[in-house]
A and B are shown apart, each in its own frame.
Chain A
Amino acid sequence: MIKTTAQRIYVALIFIFLYAPIATLIVLSFNASKTRSKWGGFTFKWYASLFEDEKILQALGNTLLIAFLSASIATVIGTIACIAMQNMKRKSRTIIMGITNIPMLNAEIVTGISLMLLFIILGFKFGFMTILLAHITFNIPYVILSVMPRMKQLNPSTYEAALDLGASHTQAFFKVVFPDILPGIVSGFIMAFTMSLDDFVITHFTKGAGIDTLSTKIYTEVRKGIKPEMYALSTIIFVTVLILLLLVNYAPKKKQDTAAVK
């Protein structure tokens, strides 16, 4: 009895430490008073003024567009890479898998600076395209990480069975392999989308002047002095990412259940 109470208190403490900062941020985003130290009543006005700010909306547009494009392109490239790896011998597959994992563990600042240097050497003009390229690059490993386990679960005979029944290679892939790995592809896409959405460091080094995503926009605004609109914006980003993460965790399971009932 005492033991379980102690356990609960311990877990509660962990969650308080983890979520207290975010909770503070969310509370402050609804604070009518401009000073942080005083509660001036509940308000939506910071959210309202946020959506009137032309530059912030522009940054939001860039962020969503880059997240969508980079996640889509990375999903296609990552999935194709998984198909190739699946057909490799075990040894080369392990090596390639290890290499694709390194960028995920690598410090973001190193990835950001290396990409910046590469773009300079190649003579690219910094802007939307360089951000997009950078995001595709760091998103591919996440897609592979999510699709590969699905790929390994596949019974290799199902593809051959489709060929045997008269399907061409393309038909066999889209009718038999694709539906089986689709949950992995979807969660890979959402993961990539999330990563792109909240990236700051790599975007900061590859964006150049005149273009901003939400994270870099918040950074520049905060340097000028913290405006309560930024609390509202951060809250929106947090909630969006949270929803996407919940989707990743629960969407595939639900799908399987309905398939079984049908």
Chain B
Amino acid sequence: MKNVLVNLEHISKSYDGQMVLDDLNLYIRENEFLTLLGPSGCGKTTTLRILGGFETPDKGRVVFEGADITNLPPNKRQLNTVFQKYALFTHMNIAENIAFGLKIKNKSKAYIDDKIKYALKLVNLDGFEKRMPNSLSGGQQQRIAIARAIVNEPKLLLLDEPLGALDLKLRQDMQYELIRLKNELGITFIYVTHDQEEALTMSDTIVVMNQGYIQQIGTPERIYNEPENAFVADFIGESNIIGATMIEDRLVEILGARFACVDEGFGRNKPVDVVIRPEDVELTKNPADGTIQGVVSHVIFKGVHYEMEVQANGFEWLVHSTGMFPVGTNVGIKVDPFNIQIMNKPESEDEEAVGVNE
């Protein structure tokens, strides 16, 4: 297990009486790519700004390599930020932009020139030294913003939705670039986004947040396959979330039909939520082969797969499949026990927000 680089301990923050973060605890390991994922207003950007030193938490401590840096100003922290709208200095050329941090630290001219060359090579923009920021495309400006941050050799790089303003193709290219950069530089990345696909592609660890609380922390596979509550399941990818009853260990009753599953320890006859991913729902040609029976009500061709909606026992099942059944077909629905994810049912809205912190 790698060393812990940053520790956020019991962080609370509110603006004008509005609670943004409530007793948040999180640690980040060295050389980890950690993503804070959540809808707008979930507290992810505030968490990043507290790390960067632009906000001071009302309560709690930020510990960086064992030292308390809660009240250290941003210019004294060994970390750098890549801002959402690039924040390049428009009156300086690219070389001057990249040299900014190094000049402040009074590095020698030879050292600075070397670093500029190295950084531009790293982000694939050799020869851009004399260009002005406004003459660059959005993707290029973003690369310069990253170059400007990493020449300072930070231990931790904070990225605030850096790809939000780019178009889809460019965004996908930049995702691979970021993974490559992280591996080449060996620094820790903390990445903020509301885009679940971005989070799943790049992260070592994803922290799903909602309303100031951490909902779940885990690897992308774990977050996707075993969401701990309905919020996480719904936010990450598409899913069928159905109210159900846990009859006993490894047996759950969904919409009146009994399904085998692999979860244990929820008790007997306990109300729960189940999550079934659309690609895990199997349709059978012969309705009798399925656990429950339904009628296809909607079909859309999505390229990689067909997206179908199946009416069965009063619920509209979302199904992704490469095989197509025309609208009106009677089908059976089967789900592999391994693909049924059982979650505790929240009893109130408050509890829903608190999730795993409870």
Contact of A165 with B104 in the complex, beta carbons under 8 Å: yes
Q: Does A123 contact B (CB under 8 A)?
A: no
| Contact in complex: A164, B75 (CB < 8 Å) | yes
Check A163 against B87 for contact (C-beta < 8 Å).
no
- For A160, give its contact among B83, B89, B91, B100 (CB under 8 Å): B83
B24 at the interface (CB under 8 A from A): no
* B101 adjacent to A260 (CB under 8 Å): no
B134 touches A260 (CB 8 A): yes
Q: Judge whether A155 is part of the interface by a CB distance below 8 angstroms.
A: yes
Rounded to whole Å, the gap between the CB of A58 and the closest CB of chain B is 43
B74 CB-CB contact with A under 8 Å: yes
Inter-chain CA distance A179–B89, complex, in Å, is 10
A residues less than 8 Å from B54 (CB atoms): 160, 163
- Nearest CB of B to A27, in Å: 46
A262 within 8 A of B: yes
Q: Which of B91, B100, B134 contacts A162 (CB 8 A)?
A: B100
Counting CB contacts under 8 A, is A161 at the interface? Answer: yes
Q: In the complex, what residues of B have CB within 8 A of residue A176's CB? A: 89
Q: Cβ of A166 and Cβ of B105 under 8 Å apart? A: yes
Q: How far is the CA of A259 from the CA of B89 in the complex (A)?
A: 13
A166 contacts which chain B residues (CB < 8 A)? 75, 101, 104-105, 152
Q: In the complex, how many residues of chain A place their beta carbon closer than 8 angstroms to a beta carbon of chain B?
A: 20
Interface band, chain B = 20 to 34
- Are A167 and B87 in contact, CB atoms less than 8 angstroms apart? no
Beta-carbon contact of B75 and A168 below 8 Å: yes
> Which of A155, A165, A168, A179 is the one whose CB lies under 8 Å from B91?
A179
Cβ contact within 8 Å between B89 and A167: no
User: Which residue of chain B lies nearest to A176 when distances are taken between CB atoms in the complex?
Assistant: B89
A163-B75, A165-B80 as given contacts; A158 in contact with B104, CB under 8 Å: no
Interface status of A7 (Cβ within 8 A of chain B)? no
Q: Contact at B85–A157, with CB atoms within 8 Å?
A: yes
Determine if A180 is an interface residue (Cβ-Cβ < 8 Å): yes
The DSSP consensus for interface residues of chain A is helix
B87 adjacent to A157 (CB under 8 Å): yes
Knowing A161-B83, A162-B100 are in contact, say whether A167-B91 is a contact too (CB < 8 A): no
Q: Does chain A have a CB within 8 A of B313? A: no
A155 touches which of B74, B85, B93, B148 (Cβ 8 Å): B85
Residues of A within 8 A of B337 (CB): none
A35 within 8 A of B: no
CB of B106, distance to nearest CB on chain A (Å):
10
B104 touches A171 (CB 8 A): yes
Interface centre among A158, A161, A164, A180 (most CB of B within 10 A): A164
Nearest CB on B from A154, distance (A): 10
Minimal beta-carbon separation of B227 from chain A (angstroms): 33
Residues of B within 8 A of A162 (CB): 89, 100
Contacts of A262 in B (CB 8 A): 93, 132
Interface check B90, CB cutoff 8 A: yes
CA distance A260 to B90 in the complex (A): 10
Nearest B-chain residue to A260, judged by Cβ: B132
CB contact between B52 and one of A164, A171, A260 (< 8 Å): that residue: A164
* 27 chain-A/chain-B pairs, Cβ below 8 angstroms: A155-B87, A157-B83, A157-B87, A158-B90, A160-B52, A160-B87, A161-B83, A161-B148, A163-B73, A164-B52, A164-B53, A164-B80, A164-B81, A164-B149, A165-B75, A165-B80, A165-B104, A165-B148, A166-B152, A167-B75, A167-B104, A168-B75, A171-B104, A175-B89, A176-B89, A259-B132, A260-B134
* Interface residues, chain A, with chain B CB atoms under 8 Å away: 155, 157-158, 160-168, 171, 175-176, 179-180, 259-260, 262
15 extra interchain contacts, Cβ-Cβ under 8 A, other than A163-B53, A163-B74, A175-B100? A155-B85, A157-B85, A160-B81, A160-B87, A161-B89, A163-B54, A163-B75, A164-B75, A164-B80, A164-B81, A165-B75, A166-B104, A166-B152, A180-B90, A259-B91
